[in-house]
């Protein structure tokens, strides 16, 4: 096992009550995890597993997930909601004197 050069993936360490250990996770590789007795060991372990998987993917010419930290976002996404909720939000936006987009953005910020 080796460390991944220029590793910009998103890691998290959390406690697993079921396993009675810390679990290291990588957002870009949701099927991977590493259990360890300390937070540091869990973080190091998941980093090594990701490095191995990326290495294998490169050898197999598979597409490697782009790190979220490096991804560019447009600031736009579509959400489908029931018409009655859209009507309610449009009314609320009109009463507040803002656009529906501004109201939705403010609500999502919380």
pLDDT tens digit sequence for 78-104 = 999 999 999 999 999 999 999 999 999
At 4, the pLDDT band (50, 70, 90 cuts) reads confident
For the chain, the structural domain boundaries read 11-69, 74-108
CB atoms within 10 A of CB 9: 20
The size of the chain, in residues, is 110
- Ordered DSSP codes for 81-105: --HHHHHHHHHHHHHHTS-HHHHHH
- Cα–Cα dist 46/48, whole Å: 5
pLDDT one-digit tens code per residue, 36-70: 999 999 999 999 999 999 999 999 999 999 999 99
**Alpha-carbon gap, residue 94 to 98, rounded angstroms:** 6
- Helix (H/G/I), strand (E/B), else coil: 21: strand
pLDDT band at 6 (very low <50, low <70, confident <90, very high): confident
């Amino acid at each position: 096992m080796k460390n991944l050069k220029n590793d910009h993936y998103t890691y998290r360490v959390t406690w697993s009550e079921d396993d009675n250990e810390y679990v290291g996770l990588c957002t870009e590789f949701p099927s991977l995890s590493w259990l360890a007795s300390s937070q540091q060991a869990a973080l190091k372990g998941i980093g090594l597993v990701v490095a191995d998987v990326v290495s294998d993917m490169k050898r197999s010419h598979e597409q490697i997930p782009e790190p979220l930290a490096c991804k560019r976002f447009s600031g736009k996404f579509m959400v489908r909601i029931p018409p009655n909720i859209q009507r309610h939000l449009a009314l609320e936006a009109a009463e507040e004197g803002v656009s529906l987009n501004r109201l939705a953005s403010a609500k999502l910020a919380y």
